[in-house]
A and B are shown apart, each in its own frame.
Chain A
Amino acid sequence: MSGSSRRAVAAWVAFILACVAIISRTEFSTDLSAFLPRSPTPAQQLLVDQLREGVVSRQILIGIEGGTPAALAEISRRMAAKLRRDESFATVNNGENVGLEKDRDYLWRNRYLLSPAVDREHFTASALRRALEDDLQLLGSSAGMLWRKVLPQDPGGELLRLLDQLEGQTKPSMQQGVWFSKDGKRALLVAQTRSAGYDIDAQQRALVRIRAAFADAAGVGAARLLVSGPAVFSVSARETIKGDVLRFSLIATILISALLLLLYRSARTLGLALLPVASGALAGVAAVSLGLGSVHGITLGFGVTLIGEGVDYAIYLLTQMTPGTPARNTLDRIWPTLRLGVLTSVCGFSAMLFSGFPGLAQLGLFSIAGLIVAVAVTRWVLPALLSPGFSAPAVTALAPKAAFLARRAPALRPALLLGVALATLFLLLHRGPSWSDELARLSPVPLHDQTLDARLRSDIGAPDVRYLVVVSAGDQEATLQASEHVGAALRQLTTAGMLEGFESPATYLPSRKTQRARQDALPSAETLRENLERAQTGLPFRAGLFEPFLEDVSAAKRQPLLDRIDLQGTNLATKVDSLLVRRPAGWAAMLPLRGVADAQRIAREVAAVPDAQAVLLDLKHDADQLYRSYRSEVLKYSLLGAAAIVVLLSISLRSARRVFDVVAPLAASVIVTSAMLILGGHGLSIFNLVGLLLVVAVGSNYSLFFDRRVDSGQDRERTIVSLLFANISTVIGFGVLSFSSVPVLNAIGSTVGTGAMLSLVFSAILARPDDRAAGGNAA
């Protein structure tokens, strides 16, 4: 071993040790929101936050089926009782009236600070007169019986007003005192976890508790438990990712190793061939860990593709070595091409680095670091470790056959041209619906889980929280004040029939300003007594009946203002906490809307409310919009990546014709692959788009080697064998991923697997006959 070889090997060992040291301290995550876009606008950020940690992300829908309604109801009651005692859950609702007394008590005691009707007009003699006349009617009606008891304290009807606000929502149908599906086959519960949706460990614990509570409550009966919701999805997705990463890495490694053994017939050579990839993978993980803080499980899964691509460099070297000559000679020969190939690949992966998806950026960084290290190890470390007499007999045997095929390939040119023309035509015709525009497409949730979710959701009749007004301000008080302004506008819109109703944290916890205003508006004891006497004149109420009312009002005038702490122990506390949240900068209030009839008008009027920063979010529409804006961003970066590759090729090859020769098979491959994907029944997603860019980045290696000027026919034959095996290993690496159920891995895997194979075939078909003839003649 020469001095420089020794130095190279020593540097490599040190580098690997450093990588291992970094990786040993790396945090690994499986948070799926990494593959939700990072959001530039505050409204979009709110949307992503909602998906990550909002009320929706904390909801677990539970169904119990397989029994008589009475048995199911009993299980539901026992389960709910047990889960309500569990700290993991903020609320557990199955339709039972649990904790409503506390809510009612809070509303009752604080009715004069909470009631939106309280203003200076409210307790004038004429207003009281109208209220008392209404009271008389109410007493005569069927509801009067229950309400009679509170009348002496509440002739203004504040409690009824507050309860109406509380009970405005649609509810599931009831049987046996608990929620049931309409057909009576499933008892239903809704649990809300305390921890945010992105905290998968906590969600998993919550699910375990639910299963345990069910097992306890149901015993050995025939009843079955159905669970759905974002928590269930992220937990099962994590399991899927873990399983896929392990399984597919293993399968790809075994297949590629078998291929290499077939080719080199030597375990030592196999080890050498895998060395650059292994080093690259370690470097990739270390780079992501250093650069981005933590490594995502999906990134590791993507490592599989690196095995497929990174092993190519070793294959080029080992296969193209002429028996009896040192590795260095071969390297000198192929290095310019190899280097250009790596650079084009890096250009391609860079586009991922700049995309708005933190997850894709990880994959990009991982691949770039991995490829650079793999090629560096091939260039400087492998030659030092190869024995001087190295040869690959199988290559020599295979070479003529491969070369024969390559020589025949151009005969397929008319077929290729026709295929590309048809594919282009097809793509032009399918321009409209060929993009899949739903964010849900990125969801890793299997279809049958989605169906179960939809069924439970429609059972519960909970309208999807689709419209949400988000109000932002600097602190809690300002946010509540702004919510009240927006609430006033929404009430007008409700009267105008634009929506059926809405919820607001300020309903249960008004701003201090509003509370003080209501308190100030309450008349003094003497004034109120006078007004009441005048109002009562001629009405049949017993004298002195309303003394308790006078006392309560004067107590309310002195009572301390309400704070969040006063809600403690009520269901309203949970509601306020989920609707009023502290954010990295300031606070935000969420006002879910019901029965929206005219979203555009609401959006306009809400945005126009003075003294409030409010936006109407349409969770579905905005999410899809967000997705589209990200797709166009990814498209932009992909085109930039492709342009960078062309520029790079132009600079290196210095010939428009050669650039065209290299690019033409890639373009053909991209066109045909896209057409095949759409023919396969899927719209193209962002991930397919990224995959297409990688087809260019990876495929360029093949067309570059086909384009390379060669000295001898034997050399060319070996090049073709190396390309063939490099390609097969790449197709294996990406191809196995197409069996993954994680959408990002599946989409990139199937796209690149198909595209890389086509790139090689098309490169062979489109190779210039004169080059080939030159090689053939020399042989």
Chain B
Amino acid sequence: MQSMRQVKTARATFVERKYLSIVSGPLESSGTLLYNAPDRLEKHTLLPAPESLVLAGDELTITNEAKHQRRTLALQNYPIVWAFVESIRSTLAGDLPTLSRFYSVGLEGDAAQWRLILTPSEPSIQAAVSKIRIVGGRNQVASIEIIEPGGDRSVMTITEEGR
């Protein structure tokens, strides 16, 4: 966790696969991730349709150029979204106190190969997310897996650039 705090800025590509009960076969999307310490995180999906999420402070801005949509959410008003984005941002920031506000945090492995297991503490959030598994090595995150109560899950594989 501590070594994560040394990362001030990072750029990565991602591939996300969603396994949903209502759809047969995974839904795949990909794009880039951008992180600026301590609290700015950008997720730009390029395929299959462009969409960007910019998280800055306690505001999340979702932009869909194709549909001319742009929406800004105050995270306090959307506790589930907040818990969700904090699982990634606080991990990247090495911010254990914030993580602990939303989740009971379990850590396995060693510095070279670690696994963070987040279990939501709030019942309202448990209804949306049952577990988040973040796998990484040193100060890099390799994958994030989100498991929902119904069995739906998504796996995001992250490849860092320029290191």
Chain A residues close to B by CB (< 8 Å): 95-97, 136-137, 139-146, 148, 151-152, 164, 167, 171, 174-177, 540-542, 545
Does B39 lie at the interface of the complex (its beta carbon under 8 Å from any beta carbon of A)? no
Write out the residue numbers on chain A whose beta carbons fall within 8 Å of the beta carbon of B20: 139, 148
Residues of A within 8 Å of B115, CB to CB, are none
A143 partner, pick from B22, B24, B62, B148, beta carbons under 8 A: B62
Please tell me if the beta carbons of B29 and A141 are within 8 angstroms of each other in the complex.
yes
Contact with A along B111-132 (1 / 0, CB 8 A): 0000000000000000010000
Q: Chain A contact residues: over half helix, strand or loop, or mixed?
A: loop
| Contact of B81 (CB < 8 Å), options: A137, A146, A148, A540 | A146
Instruction: Pick the residue among A95, A141, A542 that contacts B22 (CB under 8 A).
Output: A542
CA–CA, A375 to B22, complex, Å? 94
A96 near B81 (CB under 8 angstroms)? Answer: no
- 30 pairs, CB–CB < 8 Å, chain A vs chain B: A95-B74, A96-B77, A97-B77, A137-B48, A139-B20, A139-B27, A140-B16, A140-B18, A140-B29, A141-B29, A141-B45, A141-B51, A142-B45, A143-B62, A144-B18, A145-B84, A146-B80, A148-B152, A151-B22, A171-B72, A174-B74, A176-B76, A540-B23, A540-B24, A540-B25, A541-B22, A541-B24, A542-B22, A542-B24, A545-B22
A175 contact set on B, CB distance < 8 A = 58
- Give A164 to B21 CA distance when docked, in angstroms: 27
Given A142-B53, A148-B152, A177 contacting B77 (CB threshold 8 A): yes
In chain B, positions 128-162 with a C-beta closer than 8 Å to chain A are: 128, 148, 152
A144 to B53, CA, bound (A): 13
Tell me whether A139 and B62 are in contact (CB under 8 A).
no
Q: Does B65 belong to the interface (CB within 8 Å)? A: no
For A142, give its contact among B27, B28, B43, B59 (CB under 8 Å).
Answer: B43
Residues on B with C-beta less than 8 A from A145 are 84, 128, 148
Cα-based distance from A176 to B45 in the complex (angstroms): 29
Q: Which residues of B contact A171 (CB under 8 A)?
A: 72
Q: What CA separation (Å) do A143 and B29 show in the bound complex? A: 13
What CA separation (Å) do A95 and B53 show in the bound complex? 22
Closest to B53 in A: A142
Q: Which residues of B contact A137 (CB under 8 A)?
A: 48-49
Q: How far is the CA of A752 from the CA of B74 in the complex (A)?
A: 58
- A152–B21 Cα distance when bound, in Å, is 12
Chain B: residues with CB nearer than 8 A to chain A? 16, 18, 20-25, 27-29, 43, 45, 48-49, 51, 53, 58-59, 62, 69, 71-72, 74, 76-77, 80-81, 84, 128, 148, 152
B75 to chain A, nearest CB (A): 9
With A140-B18, A148-B22, A540-B25 given, can you name 8 additional A-B contacts, CB distance below 8 Å? A139-B22, A139-B27, A141-B49, A164-B69, A174-B76, A174-B77, A175-B58, A177-B76
**Residue picked from B16, B18, B21, B69, most chain A C-beta under 10 Å:** B18
Please indicate the chain A residues that have their CB under 8 angstroms from the CB of B58 in the complex: 174-175
Known A-B contacts A142-B45, A145-B128, A174-B59; A136 and B23 likewise in contact (beta carbons under 8 Å): yes
Name the residue on B nearest A140 (C-beta): B27
Query: Could you tell me if A541 and B76 are in contact, using CB atoms closer than 8 angstroms?
Result: no
Which residue of the partner chain B has the closest CB to A543?
A: B24
What residues of chain B lie closer than 8 Å to A151, measured between beta carbons?
Answer: 22
A151 to B27, CA, bound (A): 16
Rounded to whole angstroms, the CA-CA distance of A108 and B48 in the bound complex is 29
A148–B69 alpha-carbon span in the complex (Å):
19
- A299-B53 Cα distance, complex, nearest whole Å: 62
Task: Chain B residues near A141: list those with CB within 8 A.
Answer: 29, 45, 49, 51
A151 CA to B69 CA, complexed, in Å: 20
Which of B23, B24, B43, B72 lies at the interface centre, i.e. has the most chain A CB atoms within 10 A of its CB? B23
Give CA–CA (A95, B81) in the complex, Å.
Answer: 17
B28 with A542: CB separation less than 8 A: no
CB contacts (< 8 Å) of B72 on chain A: these are: 171
When chains A and B are docked, how far (Å) is the Cα of A33 from the Cα of B25? 68
A622–B78 CA distance with the chains assembled, in angstroms: 41
Question: Shortest 3 CB-CB distances between A and B: which pairs?
Answer: A177-B76, A174-B74, A140-B27
Residue on B nearest A95 in the bound complex, by CB:
B74
**Min C-beta distance of A497 to chain B, whole Å:** 11
B59 near A152 with CB under 8 A, answer no
Determine the distance from Cα of A545 to Cα of B20 in the docked complex, in whole angstroms.
12
A139 / chain B contacts, CB cutoff of 8 Å: 18, 20, 22-23, 27
Evaluate contact between B76 and A142: CB separation under 8 angstroms. Answer: no
Residues of chain B with a CB closer than 8 A to A545's CB: 22
Residues of B within 8 A of A96 (CB): 77
Q: Nearest-CB distance from A645 to chain B (Å)?
A: 65
Query: Which A residues are in CB contact (< 8 Å) with B74?
Result: 95, 174, 177
In the assembly, what is the distance between CA of A143 and CA of B43, in Å?
Answer: 12
Cα separation A540 to B22 with both chains bound (whole Å)? 8
Which residues of chain B are within 8 angstroms of A143 by Cβ–Cβ distance? Answer: 51, 62
Q: How far is the CA of A540 from the CA of B27 in the complex (A)?
A: 10
Give A148 to B19 CA distance when docked, in angstroms: 12
Q: Is the CB of A541 within 8 A of B23?
A: yes
Determine whether the beta carbon of B45 is less than 8 Å from that of A152.
no
Contact of A167 among B18, B43, B71, B84 (CB under 8 A): B71
Indicate whether A136 sits within 8 Å of B27 (C-beta atoms), given known contacts A141-B51, A145-B128, A176-B76.
yes
CA distance A174 to B57 in the complex (A): 10
Cβ distance A257 to chain B, nearest Cβ, rounded Å: 65
User: Which partner residue on chain B sits nearest A142 by CB separation?
Assistant: B53
Q: CA separation between A541 and B24, bound complex, in Å?
A: 6
